[in-house]
Structure 1
């Protein structure tokens, strides 16, 4: 498809997004398109994203890919991926449009159901998105959900990756933080964060720094506070997403049948959902939030894309030959905070909306 680069609509650390205008419309009607471009030398991640989108092309809740091309512009070779353009922006933008910065529950239900349909399809094809968040949930011309930005997505290979941690800290699951486990349950935890943020207008976690946030996510039994303004079934839905143990977390398929988003249910805030609550859930308590206001970095879209695991030396009293996963989460996170583990923020795909 022959196209012309149009208006800039966003950029990240290594790529840019522009509108793509067809050079000629003689061949028929063309959909609205955006082109995501980066230098050829940095194109491996974008090429991988294009291949994943090709596999997910039959899912209406995933942003469509129309092809790829190479171009030479200002003396540089660029790799370009043509994508479906979502004129409704993303859910983070949508949230800002409400005076109280809260999306009505009826809309939260609708967006959540569409999001879960997309995630269920992604998981069914063997992938994990790894970066579900408001900024990556786009809205089409008719308000339909379109999951975007598969730059961090990966094949679900037993759920464990021994040398990298992907995602945005605010949406990371406990198992991602303390062991690098990145299976489908990690996306479900992020769905819970998304629902909580839509309902309250604030991130699910409140903390003053990244190190403190990672400690709270990865150590102990604390989970984000369940939004008090949600209906009873909404609270239960979020609780299912925030199961600390990933094996107890509901799958996307299970959540699609939850009363919170089921088509044939009409509940009010006083409905008793004991039938949905296990003994384990009934005995669990919700830890209080950190009282500190959430700083500016909380709303950023930066993503950790690489986190080397600690190497333990004989001098530290640890054995190099032992299984890395036998290292306790508290030791692992302590090393993280003490800067023995370096976070590489430079390769993250931090999209800044400039509409």
Structure 2
């Protein structure tokens, strides 16, 4: 396969991600992709990611995989998979760019997109198992996609050793800590942790460096991650639905998608975009006409939103 490895974009526990350049006349790959590479002997997680992405298929909120390749570099054999390149980096990068905290409108919009992605993943019969800000990518148009499926698994199927931890300890759910159970409800707990981190800039779970104490605090008793005081009442309620200790009572992605914290994000976003287009100077007859058009568009969108709400009931 004809491609050129570029500079490193980041690295994780199982692989390193680089920019990859492909020929302009390629019918299979865009000119720029990300390439995720691992030594062939240690590429189980990367091959698992490729298989799961192939089975998941296409979704606007899940990273797209274009293909795989094996290369020999410096006398070592590598396994490579080619993924969509996200020019905006990760949500961790966005957090840093915004000074450590994201504004409320972005938190809601990003959360809605992640929930949509989880709805799709869970409906397809998979669990991500490591949902966190570094594994959520931001694209040039502001859209975000869930990535890094190296630890993902099929729903209801045990993989690996029974008591072998999967994912990042700080975001593990109580049932994962206590019983090594990793099902769709574990992704919802991790979602709550991600929302808290977007709002506060700090990890959601307890500030505990001792791993034994961390697992005890997550798995034993009634203690829950602290919900930010600065969050709206809707946001607090949303997190309470994510941080239910009993996985059978914890809300699903389908249920959360209808929660008021994120359910009206699309309408608010459209309104803000239209308002941003309004002129700041003294209105002319032409401007009055433009404002009327904007007003009519707003009315139309609100009516459509109401009709969609009625149809869903």
Distance 2:175 2:38 in 1: 32
Partner of 1:102: 101
- Structure 1 unaligned residues grouped into runs of 5+: 268-355
Of stretches 234-243 and 101-110 in structure 1, the one that deviates more from structure 2 is: 101-110
Ranked by relative contact order (alpha carbons within 8 Å, sequence separation 6 or more), the top structure is 1
Matches of 1:33 and 1:158 in 2, distance apart? 32
CA distance in 2 between counterparts of 1:197 and 1:216 reads 19
> Is the 2:62–2:146 Cα contact (8 Å) retained in structure 1?
yes
Equivalent in the alignment of 2:198:
198
User: Does the Cα contact within 8 Å between 1:217 and 1:223 map onto a contact in 2?
Assistant: yes
Relative distance call for 1:68 and 1:266 in structure 2 (3 A) is closer
Question: What secondary structure does 1:260 align onto?
Answer: helix
Indicate the RMSD between aligned Cα atoms, in angstroms: 2.0
**What is the total number of aligned residue pairs between the two structures?**
265
**Cα distance change of structure 1 residues 159 and 227 upon mapping to structure 2, 3 Å threshold:** farther
Please name the residue that 2:153 is paired with.
154
Aligned to 2:8: 8
CA apart distance, 1:171: 0.6
1:237 maps onto 2:206 in alignment: no
TM-score computed with the length of structure 2 as normaliser? 0.80
Deviations 1:221-248 (CA, angstroms, capped at 9, x unpaired) = 1101111111111000000000011111
Higher helix share: 2
1:202-221 aligned at under 5 Å gives the runs 202-205=202-205, 206-221=207-222
Where structure 2 has 5 or more consecutive residues not aligned to the other structure, the ranges are: 269-313
Per-residue deviation, residues 118-156 of structure 1 (Å, max 9, x unmatched): 111111111100000111111011111111111110111
What are the superposed Cα offsets for residues 202-228 of structure 1, whole Å, 9 maximum, x if unpaired?
A: 111222422221111000011011111
User: 1:84 & 1:115 partners in 2: Cα distance?
Assistant: 17
CA distance, structure 1, for counterparts of residue 195 and residue 24 of structure 2: 41
1:176 corresponds in structure 2 to: 176
